[in-house]
Amino acid sequence: MSVYIVTYDLRKPGKDYEPLLTAIRKYTNCHCLKSAFFIDTTESASDVRDKLTKLIDSNDQLYVLKLTGTWAATRKEDCTEWLKQPNRKF
């Protein structure tokens, strides 16, 4: 398993993006920032991107970045604890 950060910029006000959020939440996840989730998966970054891209508009943006090495955080205790779990691999 690898930990990725999935971050997005959805540019169509009023559009129902619930299918995107539902798809992200199917992964083992932690909602770390307003438009960002940590996910834990065996899939590659491009596989995750390809699945999620089908759920957004062509003018929206999406990044899927693998976390490696060290990290640091402030004020989001639940996701900090989520990342510290021994089964998380970086």
Q: C-alpha angle 12/16/22, rounded to 5°?
A: 120
Q: Which pLDDT value is given to residue 90?
A: 82
Residue 7 has pLDDT above 80, yes or no: yes
pLDDT tens, position by position, 42-60: 999 999 999 999 999 989 9
Binning pLDDT at 50, 70 and 90, where does residue 13 land?
confident
Please state the separation of Cα 9 from the chain's center in Å.
12
Domain span at residue 9 reads 2-84
Residue 59 included in any domain:
yes
Q: What DSSP element (H or E) covers 21?
A: helix 18-25
Domain containing 70 — which CATH number? Answer: 3.30.70.240
Residue 89 included in any domain:
no
Residue 54 included in any domain:
yes
User: One-letter amino acid identity for 47?
Assistant: D
Residue 33 included in any domain:
yes
Residue 69 included in any domain:
yes
**Closest by alpha carbon to 10, among 46, 58, 50?**
58
Q: Which pLDDT value is given to residue 77?
A: 84
Domains in the chain, number: 1
Tell me the β-bridge partners of 29: 39
0.85 surpassed by pTM: yes
Confirm if 43 and 49 have CB atoms less than 8 A apart. Answer: no
pLDDT tens, position by position, 61-70: 999 999 998 8
